[in-house]
Amino acid sequence: MSAAAQPANDSTTAAPLETRDSRLYARLLAFARPWRALFFTCLLLLPLASLVALIQPQLLQLAIDDHLVPRRWDGLPLLIAAFAGVTALNFALSFLQLYLMDLAGQRVLRELRCAVFDKLQRLQIGYFHRNPVGRIMTRLTNDVDALQEALSSGVVTIIGDIVTLAAITVILLVKSWQLALVTFLAVPLLLALSVLFRRLLREAYRALRAETARLNTSLQESVTGMSIIQLFAHERRSRQAYTDINDSYRRSAYAVIRWDASLYALVEMISSIAVAGIIWYGAGQALEDVVTLGVLVAFIEYVGRFFTPIRDLAQKYAVIQSAFASAERLFEILDSDETLPEDPQPLPLTELRHGIELRNVWFAYKGEQWILKDVSLHIKRGEKVALVGHTGAGKSTLIGLLTRLHDVQRGQILIDGHDIRRYRVEDLRRLFAVVLQDAFLFSGTLRENLTLRSPRVQPEDVAWGSQLVGLQRILDRYPDGLEHPIRERGANLSVGERQLVSFARALATRPQVLILDEATANVDTETEAVIQHATEAMLAQQTSVVIAHRLSTIQRADHIVVLHHGQVAEVGTHDSLLKAGGLYATLVRLHLHAEDHGDRQ
Amino acid sequence: MTPSPPSRARRILATLTRHAGTFSLGALFLILTNLLALQIPRLLGDAVQLLRDAETLGSAFDLDAIQTLALTITGCAVAAAVVRILSRIFVFNGGRLIEFELREELFAHLTTLDVSYFQQTSTGDLVSRLGNDILFIRAFYGFSLLNIVNTLVAFSIVLTQMVQVDPQLTLACLLPYPVFFLTMGLFTRALYQRTQDAQATLADLSARAQENIAGAAVVKAFGIQRQESEAFRDLSERYVHANLALARVRGALFPYMGLIPAMGTLLMLALGGQRVVEGHLDLGAFVTFSGYLVALAWPTAGIGWALMSWYRGTAAFDRVFQILDARPRIHDAPDAQPLPLGPDGRARGEITFDHVSLTYDDGTVALRDVHLTIRPGERVAIVGRTGAGKTTLLQLIPRLRDPSQGQLLLDGVPLQRISLASLRRRVATTPQDPFLFSTTVEENIRLGLLARDAEPGDAPPSRLSLDDAVRIAHLQDDLTALPEGLQTLVGERGVTLSGGQKQRVTIARAVLLDPDILLLDDALSSVDTRTERHILEELKTLMQGRTCILVTHRFNALELVDRIVVMDQGHLLEVGTHAELLALGGHYARMVERQRIEAELEDA
């Protein structure tokens, strides 16, 4: 690490908690900017509501001193009416403040949620490989919820609490500074307790959250793999594993309950002891006529209102802490630099005019473990290129690079002579249609899976694509045809059917370049023949890159690129490569050998 | 055969009874808390009265008495704090314990449900029921109970004490409480309904996001990020509206709860004030009464919270019980016997499909009158196009599904009469979709063996070592390439294996069990042909004398099998050896012919 980088690094990792919190706060406020008028109104209403509430004990004091002690009725009805009025006003102000707060808060959270979602759309695919779906979902739901809870119950009301505390402090001091000091004796104790307990609670909540995540991940996995669990008679062990997690989850919950209950009860206790102190000390004062009975009663009322916010302060602090932790995790996603850098002034791209060129491309997922080493390749418009090689030769990676699922580390990929990073990612990807190994289907109807809800895909495109791949045979089985519901991940279709759908889906986008990645591996001979035939027709004028097992596909390619350990070993046509007698010839021989039913091996 | 499930109320009570000890202690401490805490308003009143008397009557002021009162208040406060902590710990821990048990029960139950159940129920739904609904049930037992008991106790203590001081005033002061309870009830109902709406919207939002994330590769490949973002934005907007509807109720509820103690003081001022002025009521009693009314505010509001978690809890109960009431269609018959084994501790492995048909719940016919006997130790390949029913046929053998008509026999015994555990212990399957758990490669391979070691039963030990399984599945090279070899974590939190690697891990897993019947459901589709051949040849040696059925789309393996079964649309079309079927000149011959022509084309 260079000396220059040191201080900058320190400020991000070793920043004191308060700095971190205030930075988070500033970022959250940035999201709130568009609704600052609303927030501002809330900020005004809040102390107003708090102050109005503090008039009540004052009225009680007047009632006692001026009416109850001297037993004078007159004027008391007026006081009662005033009390009623203050109560009503407090209600109205509180309602208004709470509602407006929610209104503003909901808007901010929506923005935040959408910002995270949008960011997820732009994150590179590697992010999704590293982070399980469950974890990302926790960000989008639980973490945003934690913020929501903080907004509706914590952050802003804490300002009201502080105003209340300050006001009561002043009121108490004015009424009787001696009694006030007696009351304030309890404050250091309270603060010490709340600091201690908020730390304990924070730890406990953190542990609980971690356990919750473990519990859910374990459950999700077991449900997904239940048939394996059953087939391998693994039920008892799976149950045991779940029980272990469930048990440590329960234990962490007990810690939360313990600290939470203690904090709540201890604050209540201190509040009562303070009242006892006021009686003890105030009695003497009352006798010496330093304070009146009314003041004493009002004092006790105020003390009750004094400690509740302090108690809640600690609880709200916990809510805010967990909200901050959540915000931090959300910002982590927002700050992730794993997005593809986008050119600020992209070149237009609607069709492939000339071709695609890979120029000395190097790529590694991690460090120096190169998956592709110095790969150069030319794909002209209309050409059909077959990628051949053993598993792990780098075929899938190469395809990922074309659509910028990843960016090359060295060298560049050019489309029509320009680096693909010069185009908008969206435009670039629209050029291609990819049939992935894993035919991922969404829940929804068959039609939605074929159009991917894209307005650009017209019904005739869907019909065309389905026709070509022979999806019709499957459609005919369903009375509701294209409206047939598809379950999560296409669970109600066979692997082959899923692949047919993903194939039709790719064709329906009318791509400029078609990319097939081992798409035919799981389809039976007959279905494969249908697809083969259909694609032939389309591939005739379409640029395409194919990773295929079938020799018939490879053979029809204009170029065959043989990848070996991340390098281009051979390029040529089927005939020329066979003649050359190199790697390809060996591959073909092996393939034929295996396909031929003989057991000569 | 399946008794109707017990009613909700019965179940709730049964759970409560089971934890009667914990909850009784919790309730006891709660009563003590209230008894102690509610002394304080009275002590305060006494103190005020002492002062008042000293002022008016000029009687000798008893500072000792005041100090005793102050000390008593302190004592009550400390004691109340202790029992309050205990009461909350007991009641809330009780709720947590119930949550724990319910999770255990649900998980255990889920492991008994069959494939068809999981096909009908989305993973997200199950996870949410075990995640969120259980929280509401916990709150039902913990929070709701705490509040109900607390309210009852607080009201009875306060009422007893108030009546002793001034019955008339007590009655007057209590007049608005029915209104409070009623309005709290109404608020709670509205709050509940709107919360439900908001939750439903959130569920839509989450489902949408979940799919988007799970399908990130497709979303990116098709460049539909913008549509996805817009759809998400719309759903977010709906969620905001649902939340705002909720906020209107919530915004009113909290201030309303603050209104209740204020109303108490107001009442005291109006009614009690007059009585004090008229001399019917002491100032001390006035202060005590005020204190009581304020103390009743929280228990009054608490009824609202109790109702809320009642509503939520009962709805959650219903959803959770739905899972618990789902009966596995496949389970041990009462007269189920262990699979009869030969003297070598093994099944012979004769499988008979006796006129088997199967129709799925959605009406799709998967198998039509399949009649077939697979001889002990026979190697059979099932071929046919996609959707022909090959996978379904295999699933019948370890009873992942049961036929709608007809039956299967293993070594002459109907499958229904064989206990599931003993059946599955002798049958090993590699499914079409290789599924690995997010643990080490080794644990994934040893999955079945680990389970068997835990419940040895009557199976002979596997003749194979982990190394053998790795070798047969051709995993050794892959393992050396993995960062930590067999100890490498796979799946969600580890290395992502390629499709072929995953398939081979599942093969190693099945082989390691040294089963009497091995089922390979297109288990080598992502493996290159050369490796496939190696694996099949290894298997041929290993499976000598064991029954082996493999579904395949590749014909290069077919000379390694004894018989070939050709299926289409659930029908069994042809059965025979490679030569017989060729001679028959039917479906199989045509398929082979097609591949031959393909090969010729390639040679050309």
**Radius of gyration of chain B measured on its C-alpha atoms:** 36
In terms of C-beta distances under 8 Å and separation of at least 24 residues, what long-range contacts does B555-558 make, across chains too?
B555/A525, B555/A595, B555/A597, B555/B383, B555/B591, B555/B592, B555/B595, B556/A594, B556/A595, B556/A596, B556/A597, B556/B529, B556/B532, B557/B381, B557/B524, B557/B532, B557/B533, B558/A597, B558/B381, B558/B383
Nearest to B70 among A121, A280, A454 (CB): A280
Give yes or no for residue B309 having a pLDDT over 60: yes
pLDDT digits (tens, 9 = 90+) for A299-320: 888 887 887 777 677 667 767 7
Give yes or no for residue B542 having a pLDDT over 70: yes
Across the interface, whether the CB atoms of B454 and A56 are under 8 A apart is answered no
Rounded to whole angstroms, how far apart are CA atoms A586 and B348?
43
Which tokens sit at A436? 């992935």
Name chain A contacts of B81, Cβ cutoff 8 Å: 265-266, 268-269
pLDDT digits (tens, 9 = 90+) for B275-289: 888 888 888 888 888
Across the interface, whether the CB atoms of A283 and B50 are under 8 A apart is answered yes
> How many residues can be counted in chain A?
601
Across the interface, whether the CB atoms of A68 and B283 are under 8 A apart is answered yes
Q: Which of residues 426 through 465 in chain B touch A, CB cutoff 8 A?
A: 427-429, 431-433, 435, 437-438, 447-448, 450-452, 454-455
Rounded to whole angstroms, how far apart are CA atoms A372 and A409?
10
Rounded to whole angstroms, how far apart are CA atoms B419 and A74?
90
pLDDT digits (tens, 9 = 90+) for A482-522: 888 887 777 777 766 787 888 888 888 888 898 887 554 44
Minimum CA–CA partner of A266 in chain B: B81
Name chain B contacts of A95, Cβ cutoff 8 Å: 251-252, 255
Across the interface, whether the CB atoms of B222 and A434 are under 8 A apart is answered yes
CA B170 vs. chain centroid, Å, equals 50
Rounded to whole angstroms, how far apart are CA atoms A361 and A375?
5
Name chain B contacts of A303, Cβ cutoff 8 Å: none
Which tokens sit at A523? 């389809």
Q: What percent of chain A has pLDDT over 90?
A: 13
CA B295 vs. chain centroid, Å, equals 41
Across the interface, whether the CB atoms of A454 and B224 are under 8 A apart is answered yes
Across the interface, whether the CB atoms of A246 and B100 are under 8 A apart is answered yes
Across the interface, whether the CB atoms of A152 and B500 are under 8 A apart is answered no
Confidence of residue B71 (pLDDT cuts 50, 70, 90): very high
Q: Is A388 helix (H, G, I), strand (E, B) or coil?
A: strand
Rounded to whole angstroms, how far apart are CA atoms A152 and A155?
8
pLDDT digits (tens, 9 = 90+) for A53-71: 889 889 988 988 888 888 8
| Mean pLDDT, rounded, of chain B | 85
* Contact predicate A69/B276, CB 8 Å: no
B238 has a chain A CB within 8 A of its CB: no
The burial of A447, by beta-carbon neighbours within 10 Å (0-12 exposed, 13-18 middle, 19 or more buried), is given as: middle
Rounded to whole angstroms, how far apart are CA atoms B50 and B68?
12
| pTM more than 0.90 | no
Q: Which of residues 141 through 200 in chain B touch A, CB cutoff 8 A?
A: none
Name chain A contacts of B596, Cβ cutoff 8 Å: none
**Shortest distance, CA A272 to any CA of chain B (angstroms):** 6
The pLDDT of B403-409, averaged and rounded, is: 94
Nearest to A237 among B37, B76, B450 (CB): B450
Query: Mutate which of A272, A484, A522 to disrupt the B interface (most B C-beta within 10 Å)?
Result: A272
Query: Mutate which of B222, B438, B455 to disrupt the A interface (most A C-beta within 10 Å)?
Result: B222
Rounded to whole angstroms, how far apart are CA atoms A520 and A517?
8
Domain A24-334 has CATH 2.40.30.60: no
Q: What is the DSSP string of B397-415?
A: TTTSS--SEEEEEETTEEG
Q: What is the pLDDT of residue A28?
A: 81
* Contact predicate A502/A435, CB 8 Å: yes
The pLDDT of B182-190, averaged and rounded, is: 89
Which tokens sit at B410? 């293993």
Across the interface, whether the CB atoms of A71 and B279 are under 8 A apart is answered yes
Give yes or no for residue B58 having a pLDDT over 70: no
Minimum CA–CA partner of A239 in chain B: B108
Name chain A contacts of B513, Cβ cutoff 8 Å: 232
Q: What percent of chain B has pLDDT over 90?
A: 26
Say yes or no: do domains A24-334 and A355-600 share a fold. Answer: no
Q: Which residues pair with B413 in a beta bridge?
A: B410
- Higher pLDDT, residue A139 or B398: B398
* Contact predicate B395/B549, CB 8 Å: no
Q: Report the complex ipTM.
A: 0.82
- Higher pLDDT, residue B555 or A269: A269
Nearest in space to B91 (alpha carbons), one of B138, B22, B31, B32? B22
pLDDT digits (tens, 9 = 90+) for B468-493: 899 988 898 888 888 888 898 887 65
Superfamily of domain A355-600: P-loop containing nucleotide triphosphate hydrolases (3.40.50.300)
Which tokens sit at A484? 């047939």
- Least confident range from A588-592, B193-197, B553-557: namely A588-592
| Domain extents in chain A | 24-334, 355-600
Nearest in space to B515 (alpha carbons), one of A318, A76, A133, A233? A233
Q: What is the pLDDT of residue B356?
A: 95
Name chain B contacts of A238, Cβ cutoff 8 Å: 111
Across the interface, whether the CB atoms of A253 and B263 are under 8 A apart is answered no
